């Protein structure tokens, strides 16, 4: 069996019979190097194929005739992970499997586990084993907080949470192993093919052993980062007030899904490019992304600043007390000590503030993008938002091949406000057949309200009625494209944005087209969304 399903306008989901076939398909696709294929995300029974949007149909045709690889999965190095088996779900899981807790631990430590694929978060491996005992359902209601190092079970898989995050797996233990370290090569302890042995250990948090593979780099203070030397010669941005959330963003980390890393980066790509163009930076330079508004920034040294995105109103307060408006997508000169005061967004949700010259922070995985789900950002601060008192250092314009600062050629788009209705175009699938005809119809005809629980990971929606499922079984984890509209068990859609997980286990009823992702990211709580279907011809499922 092989089905090629649309996953938005620039990805295909290829479904096969089982994990072994998925591993062979992934190997065949990697070896074939099909023109137009940009990235592969293997999972339990599928491979997500990210494509050049102009060649999606061509790639779909090539995949249908591609023979599976004949070779067995590659087996990598072997690692041992010490686990304290005291997870809060352990008794319930043991009872479900019909064994004692002690027997479950004996079987878990006695099995030979192998990383079949990665996803969800950087360093998270989906481990399969040779013991048929392990097949347990996810929790009916996911936890909002699973601690770092939690050892968990779901379906036939075992996994270890690399950092604190939401999660719906059953918790059976905990470990101090360092699953992810960007300064390590490779950064993930558990790469595909790695063989894992779990060992029971009775350690406590207070007497924890050294973490396996822990980074040797010194701890970095989490307060303000100051600059050496003469303040007048060190250009920087001082954060007087960060507003609701102030993040450093660039265009993200492309091509790292095999590590469990989504591209992340600027939520509104158009606004990011417009602000960089206005100050004369290249589009890939980093800028500040402000949620809703309310920030005050002070400039060290002279320069050029521009804002784009949300209609929040901004004023430049000069050191002599005079003020100047900062129009959207227009360069404005600043001098040492000037302050940019941002109001609150009346339309839109996120603003981009660019300053001529590069942000001089050390990147993590070749990018300064702040990935709030994966915990990636700059090496100095990881994914931490900027705080009052922080100083964001800048390099001079020459460091980014600065061009002439110039305003936008076209007027900025009109962004939505709370109470208004936004139309997002979607490609149905890949799992629209998991919903009843009435469920698909309601998805497209109803209006969905954006809730305050939305963030950079996804827009959480509420409607008048939950979407009805035709298939109630659990969906094996599979790759998630940007814009994927997942439907969790409660039946209300979630539109996945830039900081989405690389893989997920809820069915995707449709995917927002790439050109509408910027608008989605600018839709504030209280606004309503309607989904409008658009066709994508990939020759139908096969």
**Are the C-beta atoms of 528 and 440 separated by less than 8 Å?**
no
Question: Is the model more confident about 232 or about 45?
Answer: 45
8 Å CB contact between 382 and 489: no
Predicted local confidence at residue 397, as pLDDT: 63
Q: Per-residue confidence at 539, pLDDT binned at 50, 70, 90?
A: low
Q: Return the ∠ at Cα 353 (arms to 350 and 355), rounded to 5°.
A: 165
Residue 332 confidence class, pLDDT cut points 50, 70, 90:
very high
Q: What's the alpha-carbon Rg for the chain, to the nearest Å?
A: 24
Q: What distance in Å separates the CA atoms of residue 350 and residue 353, rounded to the nearest whole number?
A: 10
Spatial CA neighbour of 498 closest among 458, 541, 447: 458
Measure Cα distances from 319 to 23, 298, 332, 353 in Å. Answer: 62, 10, 15, 20
- State the pLDDT at residue 144: 79
Q: How far apart are CA 375 and CA 499, in angstroms?
A: 10
pLDDT for the residue numbered 226: 34
The per-residue pLDDT for 98 is: 96
Q: What is the pLDDT of residue 170?
A: 96
Helix (H, G, I), strand (E, B) or coil at 32: helix
What is the reported pLDDT for 537? 60
Please state, rounded to an integer, the average pLDDT across all residues of the chain: 88
Residue 236 neighbours by CB distance under 10 Å: 22
What residues contact 132, with CB distance under 8 A and at least 6 apart? none
- 125-129 and 113-118 as β-strands: parallel, antiparallel, unpaired? antiparallel
The residue-averaged pLDDT of 71-79 equals 77
Per-residue pLDDT, averaged over 451-475, amounts to 95
175 pLDDT higher than 90: yes
Phi, psi of 426 (to 5 degrees): -135, 155
Q: What is the pLDDT of residues 205-244, one digit of tens each?
A: 333 343 343 333 333 222 233 333 334 458 999 999 999 9
Q: Which helix (H) or strand (E) holds 146?
A: strand 143-146
**Cα(371)–Cα(118) distance, rounded to whole angstroms?**
17
Residues 6+ apart with CB under 8 A from 188: 118, 122, 123, 125, 179, 180, 259, 260
Torsion, CA 27, CA 32, CA 35, CA 40, rounded to 10: 0
Would the pTM count as exceeding 0.75? Answer: yes
Q: Determine what percent of the chain is predicted with pLDDT higher than 90.
A: 71
Write out pLDDT tens, residues 398-426. 555 556 667 777 888 999 999 999 999 99
437, pLDDT greater than 60: yes
Peptide bond into 430 cis (omega under 30): yes
pLDDT tens, 344-369?
Answer: 999 999 999 999 987 999 999 899 99
Q: Please tell me the distance from the alpha carbon of residue 432 to that of residue 106, in angstroms, as a whole number.
A: 41
User: Would you say residue 268 has pLDDT above 50?
Assistant: yes
Instruction: Give alpha helix (H) positions in 125-245.
Output: none
**Interacting residues of 267 by C-beta distance below 8 A, sequence separation 6+:** 249, 289, 350, 456, 497, 498, 518, 521, 522
């Amino acid at each position: 069996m092989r089905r090629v399903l649309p996953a938005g306008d620039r990805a295909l989901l290829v479904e096969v019979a089982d994990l072994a076939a998925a591993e062979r398909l992934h190997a065949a696709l990697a070896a074939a190097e099909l023109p137009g294929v940009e990235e592969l995300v293997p999972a339990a029974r599928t491979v997500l194929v990210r494509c050049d949007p102009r060649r999606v149909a061509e790639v779909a045709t090539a995949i249908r005739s591609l023979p599976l690889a004949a070779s067995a999965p590659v087996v990598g190095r072997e690692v041992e992970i010490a686990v304290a088996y005291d997870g809060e779900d352990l008794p319930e899981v043991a009872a479900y499997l019909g064994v004692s807790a002690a027997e479950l631990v004996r079987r878990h430590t006695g099995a030979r586990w192998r990383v079949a694929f990665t996803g969800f978060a950087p360093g998270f491996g989906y481990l399969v084993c040779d013991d048929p005992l392990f097949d347990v359902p996810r929790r009916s209601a996911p936890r909002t907080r699973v601690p770092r190092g939690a050892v968990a079970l779901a379906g036939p898989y075992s996994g270890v949470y690399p950092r604190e995050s939401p999660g719906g797996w059953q918790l059976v233990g905990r470990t101090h192993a360092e699953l992810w370290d960007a300064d390590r090569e490779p950064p993930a302890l558990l790469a595909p093919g790695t063989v894992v042995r779990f060992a029971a250990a009775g350690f406590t948090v207070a007497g924890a052993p050294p973490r396996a593979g822990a980074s040797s780099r010194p701890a970095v203070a989490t307060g303000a980062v100051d600059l050496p030397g003469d303040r007048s010669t060190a250009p920087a941005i001082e954060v007087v007030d960060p507003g609701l959330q102030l993040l450093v963003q660039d265009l993200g980390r492309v091509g790292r899904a095999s590590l469990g890393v989504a591209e992340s980066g600027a939520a509104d790509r158009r606004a990011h490019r417009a602000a960089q163009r206005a100050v004369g930076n290249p589009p890939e330079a980093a800028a500040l992304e402000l949620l809703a508004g309310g920030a005050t920034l002070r400039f060290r040294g002279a320069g050029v600043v521009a804002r784009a995105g949300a209609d929040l109103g901004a004023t430049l307060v000069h050191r002599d007390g005079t003020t100047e408006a900062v129009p959207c997508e227009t360069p404005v000169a600043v001098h040492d000590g000037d302050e940019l005061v941002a109001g609150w967004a009346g339309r839109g949700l996120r603003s981009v503030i660019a300053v001529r010259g590069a942000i001089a922070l050390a990147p993590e995985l070749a990018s300064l993008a702040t990935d709030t789900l994966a915990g990636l950002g700059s090496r100095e601060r990881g994914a931490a938002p900027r705080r009052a008192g922080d100083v964001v250092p800048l390099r001079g314009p020459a460091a980014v091949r600065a061009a002439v600062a110039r305003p936008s050629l076209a007027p900025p788009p009109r962004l939505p406000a709370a109470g208004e209705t936004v139309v997002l175009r979607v490609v149905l699938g890949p799992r629209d057949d998991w919903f009843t005809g009435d469920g698909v119809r309601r998805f497209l005809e109803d209006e969905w309200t954006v809730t305050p629980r939305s963030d950079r990971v996804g827009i959480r929606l509420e409607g008048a009625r939950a979407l009805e499922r035709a298939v109630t079984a659990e969906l094996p984890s599979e790759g998630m494209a940007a814009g994927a509209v997942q439907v969790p068990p409660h039946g209300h859609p979630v539109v996945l944005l830039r900081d989405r997980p690389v893989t997920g286990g809820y069915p995707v009823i449709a995917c927002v087209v790439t050109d509408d992702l910027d608008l989605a990211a600018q839709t504030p709580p209280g606004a309503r969304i309607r989904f409008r279907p658009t066709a994508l011809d990939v020759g139908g499922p096969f």
